[in-house]
Structure 1
Amino acid sequence: MTFFALQGAQALETWPNSARAAVSLAYDDALDSQLDHALPALERYGVKATFYLALANPAVRQRMAEWRAAAQRGHELGNHTLFHQCAGGTPERSWVEAHRNLQNTSVAQMLDQVRVANTMLLAIDGRHERTFNAPCGDRLAGGQPYWPAIRDELVALRGDGPATAGLSGAQLIELVKEQGAKGGIVNLVFHGIGGDYLSVSKEAHEELLRFLSEHRAEYWTDTYLNIVRHQRGAKPGWVLDWADEFDGDALDARKWVPEVAGHGFGNNEMQFYTARRENVRVEGGMLVIEARKEAWQGKQYTSARLKTAGLMERKYGRFEARIKVPRGQGIWPAFWMLGADIGKVGWPRSGEIDIMENIGKDPGIVHGTVHGPGYSGEKSIGAPSPLPAGQRYADDFHVFAVEWEPGEIRWYRDGQHYHTARPSTVRGDWVFEHPFFVLLNLAVGGYWPGYPDSSTTFPQQMLVDYVRVYQRGE
């Protein structure tokens, strides 16, 4: 299972001790100055961090006992590949040696590097779980994304962070405050500390650590692995079962099936759903579903609809996604579920659970709904979740979830419970005691939202930071 956390994300996480945000300090490449200056300062202030080791660097071979001791004291040794492959061929990358040029490295070679690096790290610290930081932030090997090939070897791909080289202590502290203002994860990446290259002075580094030590109630600082572990189990009583953090460069075909159709889907919708990159892609740690105004297969709009049918189907659980919806008259984004037996029993006997729907003409309202026999379409059972007056869902990300247990489904928006459905609340058979699959889509037009008009602009994007499915703990 792989996870990705975007720095500064308004993830609405519950951090330990009710901290405002999590802070991850990373030290790349395995440098002498990190052992000489960074590690002693971290120890003085009781702050844990992650050291991403490029295993071929001399400081690993020459000072292995010190790296092992750092791991024993609770710091993380992360995977930064064997040889620190980076894309060369440009003046600012003249330092990249030909045999370490990522442009001339295959995806298979990167997979080999990651596997061997994991084995070497295991020999150093005895640990099997490992996070990864891409050297130079480059994620194409020989022009192809390499994360999909290596993801199963790792727990998480670390998110990019702001440049820190040459910053003062005050500037580093300001980065923490700015990045942490939305309550997510602050990723700060360092190289040299008081030496080596891309350096931050010892004094600036120590000022940052002093601030983090004095503000533990506001900022939880830990290894990236521990932060990811916390995210897995952050929902009390629930254990993570399945997730897509959209942390690569392509949609994971092991998790999602794009639907390709344009028959209106029973709602007189106006779009044709495609699997083209123009309509569905993964970039910047997000799933992007894009609706476009263009002629395609007899329709005047294109968009995308994804489902987990046949790949991930569950009976009960907490189903959660962090989404930024689009805006505009006739625009209809949805995060929802259908009964896996729909091919046998049809709709609405299969059941439908709409976790989140928004129609563009009501920008400050989302809806949570169930459909079943006797209560489908306009007769469905649901409730709205309005934002305070003047606020619009399209202005920011929000977390939408249902908790589905035997005989009960509960809806949440940003952690706030706003609707419950039970057998006694529906006008017909309760058809929610069997497996369902998840869907994400962005429709254009339809009976309920109405149709685009002169005020509607295109393209429109639905951004999904993650989808997570939890099961009840033992």
Structure 2
Amino acid sequence: MKKIIVVCCVLLALPGARALETWPNGARAAVSLAYDDALDSQLDHALPALERHGLKATFYLALANPPVRRRLAEWRAAAQRGHELGNHTLFHQCSGQGPGRAWVAPHRMLESTSVAQLLDQARVGNSMLHAIDGRQERTFNAPCGDALAAGQPYWPALRDEFVALRPPGPATAGLSGAQLVALVREQGARGGVVNLVFHGIGGDYLAVGKEAHEELLAFLAAHRDEYWSATYLDIVRHQRGAKPGWVLDWSDEFDGDALDTRKWTPEVAGHGFGNNEMQFYTARRENVRVEGGNLVIEARREAWQGRQYTSARLKTAGLVERRYGRFEARIKLPRGQGIWPAFWMLGADIGKVGWPRSGEIDIMENIGKEPGIVHGTLHGPGYSGEKGFGAPSALAPGLQYADGFHVFAVEWEPGEIRWYRDGRHYHTARPAAVPGEWVFEQPFFLLLNLAVGGYWPGYPDATTRFPQQMLVDYVRIYQKGQ
């Protein structure tokens, strides 16, 4: 955030979005085919069809289901041929509430299953899967897409046992081959990952016909240049380690149902932050939450603690601090006059030396009156506030950052910081270029916030609509590979 005066203390996929990952062989999107529950028809029909077309998929095994025990050798053989065996819990507990849930047995309802019991299940399940395929890394698919055990979110307790939580996909039961292909085309046009989840194939329940399934696989095999089909684990590995020369060091994928306070601290304050900002930052769920695979920071027009707006601001100070690296986030920005989202960094020594001697790296800032422009800026002694050393990155005429997700990053190495937007390099800072002292050779921490008003963006007016949301798909830190 641009600073106008010195601050004495600092506290700290998506429908319609165009993803900006790059995929093997230049494919426009990745396709994850998942088969849930461990059903006979998956081994009888789905697996042979996948093999014929040379495609890989993920089978999420509910490990107490009889086809696991009866056909263990076939599941092991599938893993040996490159398919992924994922964890779908031991007993497939689901909520028994709501329409269509009469089939859930009382002793397997999530309402009577504790988070601790599900964690035990996850660990036992991973041990069983390791005995089948010998692998250590595992992804998880939540049965029925439910998130609460005994009324509490359970993914935060399980997340350390897994590489990733697989997001839900559209319902496929009963669709024709043409409809399945249309789903791939529609979702693939946005980029990112197309997630399709199946149960029965030509049998069992929630079934897709063998012919429809075959038509989908034939389409994917014939369009390998457009769609990269892979196991979900391989897709996640690619997403997290695909930057040439950089190795993933830390990330928050926002896959769960609650903010991970081991990584982020919400700031609670409303003193204007030296910029005459109008919001009060809270830690309330109304202003900051994790849902739908995204961090949501929401600015609201409401009276709170003497202010007329609320929002949120998060920091990693004292939790995650790094000197050098690639710092990256995939974000969908809000819109509107007076709206000011930012993804940025501050020197970890700010409490000792103050600002701007601590240094500030603004990876991305946007002000609502410039909907097609973001700014990357450096602040330090002699070049702070409106004199910051920065550059803009503009979209093509008529496009706006609030219309979809974009990837914002800096690559910071000794004596140089480079700014990127959607992989495009647009700004570089070096000691000889900045009009003051270079203070960027010590650890920094990350911040994400959504301000309302301030000297630079101006203030909301009659055109500004509330609430406004800043959606963050992920935040990642990479280090240079050896």
TM-score range, shorter chain: over 0.9
Is 1:438–2:446 an aligned residue pair? Answer: yes
Alignment of 1:272-283 (within 5 A): 272-283=280-291
The 1-side partners of 2:31 and 2:360 are apart by 39
The residue that corresponds to 2:302 in the other structure is 294
Decide which moves more: 94-103 or 6-15: 6-15
The two structures, once aligned, show a CA RMSD in angstroms of: 1.1
- 5+ residue gaps in structure 2? 1-12
Q: CA deviation at 1:324?
A: 1.0
Is 1:31–2:39 an aligned residue pair? Answer: yes
The residue that corresponds to 2:92 in the other structure is 84
The residue that corresponds to 1:337 in the other structure is 345
The residue that corresponds to 1:270 in the other structure is 278
The residue that corresponds to 2:220 in the other structure is 212
Residues 395 and 8 (structure 1 numbering): CA distance in 2 closer, same or farther, change over 3 Å?
A: closer
Query: Paired residue for 1:225, among 233, 237, 249?
Result: 233
Give the TM-score, by structure 2 length: 0.96
The residue that corresponds to 2:60 in the other structure is 52
The 2-side partners of 1:8 and 1:261 are apart by 34
The residue that corresponds to 2:76 in the other structure is 68
Alignment of 1:347-426 (within 5 A): 347-426=355-434
Q: C-alpha deviations, 1:82-101, integer Å up to 9, x for none? A: 00000013341110001110
The 2-side partners of 1:451 and 1:188 are apart by 44
The residue that corresponds to 1:327 in the other structure is 335
Alignment of 1:71-220 (within 5 A): 71-220=79-228
Q: C-alpha deviations, 1:319-356, integer Å up to 9, x for none? A: 11111111111111000000000001000000000001
- 5+ residue gaps in structure 1? none
Q: C-alpha deviations, 1:271-294, integer Å up to 9, x for none? A: 111101111111111111111111
The residue that corresponds to 1:306 in the other structure is 314
Tell me which amino acid in the other structure corresponds to 1:100.
Answer: R
Conserved in 1, the CA contact under 8 Å of 2:32 and 2:196?
A: yes
SS in 2 for 1:382: strand
Conserved in 1, the CA contact under 8 Å of 2:17 and 2:403?
A: no
Decide which moves more: 383-392 or 431-440: 383-392
Query: Paired residue for 2:461, among 448, 453, 461?
Result: 453
Q: Which runs of 4+ in 1 moved over 2 A?
A: 5-11
Q: CA deviation at 1:133?
A: 0.4
The 2-side partners of 1:181 and 1:374 are apart by 46
Q: CA deviation at 1:10?
A: 2.9
Is 1:11–2:28 an aligned residue pair? Answer: no
- Percent of pairs identical after alignment? 84
Q: CA deviation at 1:8?
A: 8.2
Q: C-alpha deviations, 1:92-136, integer Å up to 9, x for none? A: 111000111011111111101111110110111111110000000
Q: CA deviation at 1:203?
A: 0.8
Residues 8 and 186 (structure 1 numbering): CA distance in 2 closer, same or farther, change over 3 Å?
A: farther
Conserved in 1, the CA contact under 8 Å of 2:17 and 2:404?
A: no
Q: CA deviation at 1:11?
A: 2.8
Conserved in 2, the CA contact under 8 Å of 1:7 and 1:160?
A: no
